[in-house]
DNA sequence: CGGGTATTTGACGACTGTCAACGCCAGTGG
DNA sequence: CCACTGGCGTTGACAGTCGTCAAATACCCG
């Protein structure tokens, strides 16, 4: 189960932060799509910075304050909550374009942790600047609310799956969700997808154990629905998977595109 | 499990809708707390109405469009998602003061259903009016985003519980959550609370079966932590419950108070 | 080659689900 | 007044999905 023992590589700020960090925002991030350039300027003028984090590196930790928001530019990030006994629940996998660090109690301790699963590039900017930006651009605030609402609905979907679906259905659902989100970002090769996550991570995302995840992957393989070796997923029978998992493709696709 | 057979009492609009429905908003609903009166006026001038729904009555249904938002004035409402095979996951229990019907895709079909668990009184107002109100009052929009963010975090807590806690821990958590939310609304009598929910509902909220919920209630009783008869909960040992359930009281209390 | 991590598999156990019976209670109709 | 019915709660017996433990394999990297 959870609890990778405590190695946490320090966060590294690039020595020479991008001068035009907004470019990655505008290019990659739904949040800023179509927002007038002048509303973004403050981000640049103050101390926006690009952050690079190695795999296993923590971006922020549950229970600790965190002064920044982040837009994920490249790589995979997992957001998770921990229980005292070492158990862990992955809340979601963040992909390029996602917005991280937002929570209701802006200045309070974070309610979850964020860890890089691959080498990760983030644009980070202080919350007070973000606040000014949101104040200056109601459109931006609306966008943020919309993004958050969608994440919320995705969380509800996961709650439904975890509470009321069998192990094999949950795994099928997770794989389909990741596949379709990645396809929308053009991170797939045909019907194949290289995943950066261990089976233990799938377990922590679905509420199962690593051993049982392994068994379910084998079952899906034996049913001819997927191929899975060396973390490379090939979806062989998407429709059958979708039926099995009660998976509605449209929802997740929208979610990625926003 | 889920799937009460299909009786759905029709929604009833009161023949004489409150002329000052805003009063219940302002009194009961965090959303409108402290918002300038003139921003609320449109709600009244147009066709805000009070809605009364009998127990088991559906307020809106997953998959169907719904033109209104609602503020819950009195009674309990459950929000849930259904699976094809009759299984059901309760997403949350809404209490007086809660805001219902908001979702990202404003005009699309609802992503979940809402059912009254008690006689329920709602203030309902059309989404287009709400939109104007939010446009007129950025403060109001911020408030909505904040409320939504908190519901989101509560959903994440439930995901953690459902994915990574044992049956007895989940039941303890659910009971504590309901108790503390109700206490913040002064719906408790001392350390007692009359719940309007069946054990089957607890099951659908925690991802268990009704039979097993019953066994867990008995265990909690045998441990001396609660008394539970005729849907009346008495919390005998809150601290022990909180430890068992990994329950952080402050979070849920804030949630109720906003 | 050695050590560490991830995956895979088997054996076993237990937590939770399933099925069924019974009791209680309220409502209903004869 | 009293069967009859349906919903809910309670309990027991049993089954099975899933967790636990352990060992073997594979792989990576120094």
Q: What percent of chain B lies above the pLDDT cut of 90?
A: 67
CA distances from A75 to A9, A97, B50 (A): 17, 10, 49
Band of residue B47 on the pLDDT scale cut at 50, 70, 90: very low
What confidence score (pLDDT) does residue A89 get?
A: 98
pLDDT tens across B84-125, in order? 899 999 999 999 999 999 999 999 999 999 999 999 999 988
The angle subtended at Cα A93 by Cα A92 and Cα A95, nearest 5°, is 135
A54 has a pLDDT exceeding 80 = yes
Whether B214 sits with its Cβ under 7 A from any strand D atom: the answer reads yes
Whether B84 contacts B125, CB under 8 Å = no
What confidence score (pLDDT) does residue A29 get?
A: 55
A235 has a pLDDT exceeding 90 = yes
A243 has a pLDDT exceeding 60 = yes
Mean pLDDT calculated for residue range B239-253: 88
A191 has a pLDDT exceeding 60 = yes
> Between residues A123 and A13, which one has the greater pLDDT?
A123
pLDDT tens across B131-154, in order? 888 888 878 888 888 899 999 999
φ/ψ of residue A4, rounded to 5 = -50, 130
Q: Cβ separation of A145 and B148 shorter than 8 Å?
A: yes
The b/e string for A121-146 (b: 16+ C-beta within 10 A; e otherwise) is bbbbbbeebbeebbebbeebbbbbbb
A144 has a pLDDT exceeding 70 = yes
Band of residue A40 on the pLDDT scale cut at 50, 70, 90: low
B23 has a pLDDT exceeding 60 = no
Q: Cβ separation of B81 and A156 shorter than 8 Å?
A: yes
Mean pLDDT calculated for residue range A103-132: 93
In B, minimum Cα distance to A164 occurs at B207
Rg over CA atoms, chain B: 19
Whether A198 sits with its Cβ under 7 A from any strand D atom: the answer reads no
Nucleotide nearest to A206 (CA to C1'): D18
Q: Cβ separation of A164 and B87 shorter than 8 Å?
A: yes
* Facing B156 at nearest CB: one of A112, A149, A204: A112
Cβ atoms < 10 Å from Cβ of A194: 12
Q: Cβ separation of B104 and A156 shorter than 8 Å?
A: no
Band of residue B37 on the pLDDT scale cut at 50, 70, 90: low
Whether B71 contacts B25, CB under 8 Å = yes
Query: Between A and B, how many CB-CB pairs are < 8 A?
Result: 104
The 3-state DSSP class for residue A231 equals coil
Q: What percent of chain A lies above the pLDDT cut of 90?
A: 67
Gap from B5 CA to D4 C1', Å: 21
What confidence score (pLDDT) does residue A6 get?
A: 38
Gap from B165 CA to D19 C1', Å: 13
Whether B231 sits with its Cβ under 7 A from any strand D atom: the answer reads yes
Q: Cβ separation of A159 and B158 shorter than 8 Å?
A: yes
Using a CB-CB cut-off of 8 Å, the residues of chain B touching A206 are: 163
A44 has a pLDDT exceeding 80 = no
A161 has a pLDDT exceeding 90 = yes
Whether B64 contacts B111, CB under 8 Å = no
Mean pLDDT calculated for residue range A234-254: 89
Strand D nucleotides, any atom under 7 Å to a protein CB = 7-13, 17-22
CA distances from B137 to A196, A232, B85, B131, B173 (A): 44, 49, 44, 10, 37
Mean pLDDT calculated for residue range B37-64: 76
Band of residue B16 on the pLDDT scale cut at 50, 70, 90: very low
| Tokens coding A222 | 């034996």
State chain B's mean pLDDT as an integer: 85
């Amino acid at each position: 189960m959870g609890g990778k023992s405590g190695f946490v590589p320090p966060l590294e700020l690039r020595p020479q932060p991008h001068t035009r960090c907004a470019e990655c925002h505008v290019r990659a991030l739904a949040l800023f799509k179509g927002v007038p350039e002048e509303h973004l300027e403050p981000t640049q003028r103050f101390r926006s910075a690009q952050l690079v984090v190695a795999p296993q590196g923590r971006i922020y930790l549950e229970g600790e304050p965190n002064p920044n928001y982040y837009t994920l530019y490249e790589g995979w990030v997992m957001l998770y909550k921990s229980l005292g006994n070492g158990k862990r629940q992955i809340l979601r996998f963040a992909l390029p374009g996602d917005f991280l660090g937002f929570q209701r109690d802006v200045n309070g301790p974070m309610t979850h942790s964020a860890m890089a699963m691959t080498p990760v590039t983030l644009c980070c900017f202080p919350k007070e600047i973000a606040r000014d930006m949101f104040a200056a651009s109601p459109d931006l605030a609306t966008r943020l609310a919309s993004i958050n609402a969608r994440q919320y609905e995705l969380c509800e979907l996961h709650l439904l799956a975890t509470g009321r679906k069998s192990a094999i259905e949950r795994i099928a659902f997770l794989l389909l969700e990741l596949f379709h989100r990645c396809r929308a970002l053009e991170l797939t090769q045909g019907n194949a997808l290289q995943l950066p996550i261990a089976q233990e991570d799938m377990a922590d995302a679905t509420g199962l154990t690593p051993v049982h995840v392994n068994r379910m992957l084998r079952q899906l393989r034996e049913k001819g629905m997927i191929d899975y070796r060396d973390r490379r997923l090939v979806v062989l029978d998407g429709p059958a998977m979708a039926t099995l998992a009660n998976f509605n493709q449209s929802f997740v696709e929208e979610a990625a595109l926003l």
